[in-house]
A and B are shown apart, each in its own frame.
Chain A
């Protein structure tokens, strides 16, 4: 079988060859060969669940576990299912065959017999025997399944959503009989390692506090990965949930995440699991504690592993240095090498000096720019030194950025130079993660914080209290007190929002989901509009005024549109006539009407074209239109509701909303103009006059 040349058509059976040579398309079966039963169709491709169990000789419990671990799922047959098989669960027969060859299946069987032995020993009250046997409990590994299910690393990344969500959930769950403490600690460790990676690599793109938990999205290698971090409170454990199923899923996800993290850390040049974490056994304690421990050690590992200083110098030496050095490098004698090393060492010393000089002035991009300006003046070595200095500074402030992509760098710049201090009541885990990913420095109230509460470098103090503590008055005045939502909103809009709306005890503006594409949805919440205008640089007061105006205009526009719909060609003709008559109408109006006519024509042409659609296309088109209409209806409902809310909110003394007042005012104005015009003998609306 193995001698088939690639690219050549597959050899058929001898029988097939005889007639395929003749170029006949006739099937062999028609020539009298009877098609065997169950050789094609549903029977040949799919297999019911009970049949699976019989075939594999496993219990339903083991079968389910295998399905979960191997990622096998039932499939819906494409064709028609015979009546008596309707409602049956079908598995692909090849999937099941794959299970049959699975080494884990053997392990399960081994384990079953092992358990029999243990049980027997225990039943005979032979404790020693049981303990001895327990030592040789059969175990299995799952990494081959990871490789099998995700042949490429990208595949694994794109399927991480559920894995991470479940892991974070397990990290938050209390220990019960079904949920072992070990699982919890493992989940915590993985979650912390993942979080540390995401914030260090700066790949967190979106974050959102929902009622369900905190949604985070990371973009790794262009693949978005979204997961939920439950709020750090005791989770409610429903009784009718089968935790074993979840535990089995977690069993696989744990392996998957370990390998994914290994690869990711490896790409950073760091060993996974982090040696300190592994050795120190720092997997006890709260999630945020583990996370910060991970972050710390990952940062250390990054700094040491890249060996930033020497690397850059050697690079510069090799790249930018004069040809003399270059030539010498080519045939390095040992002595020369030693010299070079010395040179590097001296450079390191010089660097230390520079560091001292620049201490404290590395918060802004401006500095970097200045540095860059100096580069041209200095020689190549100095350039190297300065890039080094920058690197050093960057490494100091926000870790190594050499392996960040452009987007990540952009994100890093958002909070660059800012220092957040998280108050005790603020959930540290995800906030720290997001803040670090966007380039801020983070300190917190509690142990292991690198920044103390009264550090003058703190720019934002994150507080979630109704009023400020009296003890805060002693803190330096240079900081702003904001609520935690500010961090996420800033990160999502990629814009440092004014803190006025996020002050302590202030009613917060709505927190918007970064995943909603307002354009696609067709509805833009007011706050999103406001922020967009803010980004464009319009002052806030003006904005509100304009918003109202635009609303009223919209309303008028709507009305006119409706009118247009109601009246038909007649009115249009009249309007045209009116246009002709009214000499003083400016050209803009003409243009407008021309535009309107053109649009109308287009609409009519579209209508006509629709009448020529085939039945199938028309059906499809209709369904699509229905979907669009539904979406539109939703949007409409939202906007009407918003309008209602606004109206009910802003009623003045007379009981009229400002909007209504505005409408009235505009109406009055129009009437005044009309009256003025009628005094001259003409009429603005001829048709009305004529009818009257």
Chain B
């Protein structure tokens, strides 16, 4: 801006040099002309007269008419200039400065009063000229020359000038004491052209136009001006007040200074020392205005910048940055690094101490994926020949789903040598499937039992320590038979003295054997007998026309040693047979026992009499013993329904028969000595399968298909119901102590009840492969046996302790496998020898064995 301004000035100087009248400087001719010429109107206007409210065109004429039009333009210019010239204004017109000036002036006035300047009355005149007018006038006088001939630079230093300049107290030159001056303000004067006055004074009175101005002669004026100039007077016309004002030297000097761009007042110091009036900041310390020398570092090239450059160079050399970064193409070198860097540059990831970390680890338990199984011989490129699939196997595999095939997609193949092995066609697919398994297969932690199967098998005490028990087959009782096959032996029973044994077979015979020798002593055809006494029961075989034989399903020897009789169950009848084996003492007792039966008995209860009939069937037969009075069937108990089981009471007087289909009369209790029968139940509870007396208490155990009910015979009430858990109970036996019960079932279970313990089984064993047919306790030895259709007889050592706290010990000791199978029947009945640890077994193959302990 400043530059352009100077240029303007120069231009103006060159262009306006001629136009400017050479005689403008009246005071001092010697003042350089160029210097003066520079200061033409335009320049002064644009640069200095910021506060000039109004001025005329450069031609110097007072053409008020077109002043209007220029006004707007001028204002614009003013605005522009204001920005740049603020400094001047402020410095020039601030109140503080005024005060200061006044002070100074007073001081100087007091110093020297004498003024030896040309115009004595300068001060007076100066006062008389209003400021505004003066400035305007200055303009009008076409770049009014400085009266003082000193150059502007020297001006403030010239004490002379300063002296007379200071005579003015710089009070406003607008002041008019009487208020006679025109006070119309800044309105265009041509408004008053038509009037005879040019405005109003402070008192509101008209200021009348002077005659000279009104009709004034311009030529006169010009002449007067010329005169004045010659006389060294500088007169300007105050159009507002319509008068001529002569500028004093001081005013001229001010104008000159203003035009030259200096401070108007010669003694004004623009860079005066800062005086802090209010705080005590030491200017030396604050450094604001200290005139000390600048440090050396201010003049030297920046060290920091050097460092920066060095750093950048270093980085550039190291490759940490590149030119792209320096030229700003890349903003962040990290991006570049990232791109070029290897993604995961390895480092030591595991440094030890991971165990502790592992303990801290939270989250669900990791389940490692199972590893792929290692390759077997079959996957070899030359497998052993036996691993190669046969053609049938290959065909089979093709039909299978690949997942079910033994080697998956792979088929074992033999190559002759390594070079003939090609790429495996499924390798990618297998790898892919493994990948899928790894991230898609649900995993679960399954505890695999990795135990020796033999550890599951319980450790038992050695069987040899639990002797005696039957171990070896010693005697076979050979049943004589006609035809091809021997009849099935359904039942066996030993006499209480252990000398004799009776067996019942499907041919309807009850046979009496001598135990020790295996000799057949007697045989009775009870089937025929039953038919005789029960004609309704008699049926004939259609094929042969002969009467069908009823199998002897149960034979029970009277457990009383002095009662020599036995009970055989055949068809719907139970037959009491006197065995004729008694000695001298027992003969009478037996006879006495059987007397009433021999006579046909007498059933007292009407209910029972409907169900059962005692029919005498006594025939005189030769008894085995010479002491015996009789032998052979004594009596037949005829019932309405086929009988299945019969059991004696221990004392040998009562016995119970079971005919499952007979409903309420299924269980009947008979008394042999009285020839009497009772029907204990009026209602059937399930189908009775077996029944048994308690050895020493008045209890009766009745087994239905699934339960065993215990009845109190005296109280005539059910005491207990034992839940066996079996589907179909086939047999039942009571321990000689009466506290334990063993039940065999057709669904292969052997159930041991401890009656003191619970109504549920103490132990359920399932070791037979086929249905159980019979279970039995030994009366003396701690032995139990079970016979089954699989042809085996299991013998248990079953110790029952009198101590209630100890559970019975059940140990299997022997499996007797002597019998063969016939029609899916195996061993149908077992019976322990009453005094020895021996056992009789009756098989469906028609053989009877005695196993002894050897």
Residues of A within 8 A of B (CB): 64, 67-68, 72-76, 78, 89-90, 92, 94-95, 98, 135-137, 139, 141-143, 146-147, 151-153, 156, 158-159, 161-162, 165-166, 169, 173, 208-213, 215, 217, 226, 228, 230-231, 233-238, 241-242, 245-246, 249, 254-255, 258-259, 261-263, 266, 272-273, 425-427, 464-465, 483-485, 507-513, 515-516, 525-527, 568-569, 604-613, 615, 617-618, 620-621, 624-625, 628, 638-639, 641-642, 645
Contact = CB atoms under 8 A, between A and B. Distances in A.
Interface of B: 330, 332, 335-336, 338-339, 343-344, 346-350, 354-355, 357-358, 361-364, 367-369, 371-372, 374-377, 379-387, 390, 410, 412-413, 415-419, 421-432, 434-436, 438-444, 449, 453, 456-460, 462-463, 473, 765-767, 794, 810-815, 817-818
A610 B767 contact: yes
A141 B343 contact: yes
B429 A642 contact: no
Nearest to B363: A94
Given A75-B443, A161-B372, A235 B429 contact: no
A326 B221 CA distance: 130
B354 A151 contact: yes
B423 A606 contact: no
Contacts of B444: 75-76, 78
B357 A151 contact: yes
Given A76-B444, A135-B335, A152-B358, A263 B380 contact: no
B382 to A, nearest CB: 5
A64 B336 CA distance: 30
Given A78-B444, A608-B460, A510 B380 contact: yes
A298 B23 CA distance: 107
A72 B363 CA distance: 12
Contacts of A606: 457
Given A135-B335, A147-B349, A425-B419, A613 B361 contact: no
A263 B348 contact: yes
Given A212-B379, A263-B350, A230 B427 contact: yes
Given A166-B431, A611-B767, A645-B385, A234 B423 contact: yes
Given A212-B427, A213-B427, A262-B348, A620 B354 contact: no
Given A137-B339, A246-B431, A609-B458, 8 more contacts: A64-B439, A95-B364, A152-B358, A208-B375, A210-B381, A212-B375, A510-B380, A607-B815
A266 B350 CA distance: 11
Given A94-B363, A153-B350, A169-B431, A141 B344 contact: yes
Nearest to B346: A262
A608 B813 contact: yes
A286 B609 CA distance: 108
8 contacts: A68-B439, A75-B443, A143-B349, A210-B379, A237-B428, A511-B380, A513-B374, A513-B377
B355 A152 contact: yes
Contact of A609 (B361, B363, B376, B812): B812
Contacts of B422: 231, 233
Contacts of B460: 605, 608-609, 612
Contacts of B424: 211-213, 230-231
Contacts of B375: 208, 210, 212, 215, 513, 515
Nearest to A518: B377
A263 to B, nearest CB: 6
Given A68-B439, A74-B443, A510-B383, A525 B457 contact: no
B364 A92 contact: yes
A64 B439 CA distance: 8
Nearest to B422: A233
A569 B456 contact: no
Contact of A608 (B371, B387, B449, B812): B812
A236 B425 contact: yes
A209 B427 CA distance: 14
B327 to A, nearest CB: 14
B765 A612 contact: yes
A485 B428 contact: no
Nearest to B389: A641
A267 to B, nearest CB: 10
Nearest to B355: A152
A613 B456 contact: yes
A621 B384 contact: no
Given A75-B444, A209-B381, A209-B421, A169 B427 contact: yes
B418 A483 contact: yes
Contacts of A261: 346
Contact of B376 (A141, A238, A515, A615): A515
Contact of B431 (A94, A165, A259): A165
Contacts of A464: 417-419
B434 A162 contact: yes
Contacts of B417: 464, 483, 508
B384 A525 contact: yes
Given A258-B344, A525-B386, A241 B432 contact: yes
B456 A617 contact: yes
B463 A136 contact: no
B166 to A, nearest CB: 73
Contacts of A609: 457-460, 812
Nearest to B341: A139
A173 B423 CA distance: 11
B767 to A, nearest CB: 3
B453 A76 contact: no
A160 B21 CA distance: 109
Contacts of B443: 73-76
A509 to B, nearest CB: 8
Contacts of B377: 510, 512-513, 516, 525
Contacts of B374: 215, 217, 226, 513, 515-516
A78 B812 CA distance: 40
Give the top 7 A-B pairs by smallest Cβ distance, nearest first: A611-B767, A515-B374, A233-B423, A262-B346, A76-B444, A608-B812, A624-B453
Interface-centre pick from B348, B363, B457, B810 (highest chain A CB count, 10 A): B457
